[in-house]
A and B are shown apart, each in its own frame.
Chain A
């Protein structure tokens, strides 16, 4: 009985492990900081997840900082201002 339940458990975790490993390797390729493989895939999976959180956090922070900076640069959000022509040239 225990062997049957163990194999069914292993069945479901085998599917999830493969999927997770595959997706985590894709994540790893997006994060330039992580190149080297670690001892085991699972250990590197947690490291990749941690780096991913840090990376997204940094991107969010950059969005905030840029919003702050732009709020000072754009005195008015005015279609006729000098900034608008710069913006238009960016879009075209």
Chain B
């Protein structure tokens, strides 16, 4: 899924350090929590920037960070003012297909319709003789669980609230791999620094 993981980690590390350095001149005495904020934000932005806006989650990270005016300076320094990471994909949620093709399944098609109609089907099946009601019930319970868990997943993937179920899982697959790279980079730095620092 990731062609060259070590190269990716290097890129993230470089971008991240660049972000950290860009803050050193403007803030002389940072509090611990301010430093922590900058460290985390620049790491997140480094990840998003290295992913280069080709994924919704990466654009969503930048979008969400941009909402806080305190972050504008760092975002500009790390990503450049010329970049516009906004995209038509980030239109407020409609849960609709954006015309990707006839087979494209949207949330409204899969989740809402099928769970409503499955419940109806179960009720009907209970009354009729031809079907096995227990199998239908198990299927409907399973589908409801999947729906519930899919909703939960949306909170964990940046920009997830605006995605249909299929895009969500595709984005999740990508996000996990790249997020792991970010964690590896941060861990590498934390482990390589001496326990006590001298200023």
* Chain A residues with a Cβ under 8 A of chain B: 9, 12-13, 15-16, 19-20, 23-24, 26-27, 30, 40, 42-43, 45-46, 49-50, 52-53, 55-57, 59-60, 62-64, 66-79, 81-83, 86-87, 90-91
Contact = CB atoms under 8 A, between A and B. Distances in A.
Interface stretch (B65-73, B82-90, B106-114): B106-114
Given A59-B180, A63-B183, A67-B43, 19 more contacts: A27-B172, A46-B142, A49-B150, A52-B172, A53-B149, A53-B153, A56-B172, A56-B176, A62-B186, A68-B36, A70-B36, A70-B189, A73-B195, A74-B20, A75-B199, A77-B35, A79-B24, A83-B193, A90-B189
A55 B43 contact: no
Nearest to B185: A90
A47 B105 CA distance: 22
B188 interface: yes
Which DSSP category, helix, strand, loop or mixed, fits chain B's interface? helix
Nearest to B19: A77
A45 to B, nearest CB: 5
B79 to A, nearest CB: 18
A86 B150 CA distance: 42
Given A42-B143, A71-B39, A76 B14 contact: no
A56 B39 contact: no
Contacts of B176: 30, 52, 55-56, 59
Contact of A46 (B33, B138, B149, B165): B149
A71 B40 CA distance: 9
A53 B166 contact: no
**Chain B contact residues (Cβ within 8 angstroms of A): what range?**
35 or more
A63 B192 contact: no
B38 to A, nearest CB: 7
Nearest to A51: B149
A17 to B, nearest CB: 9
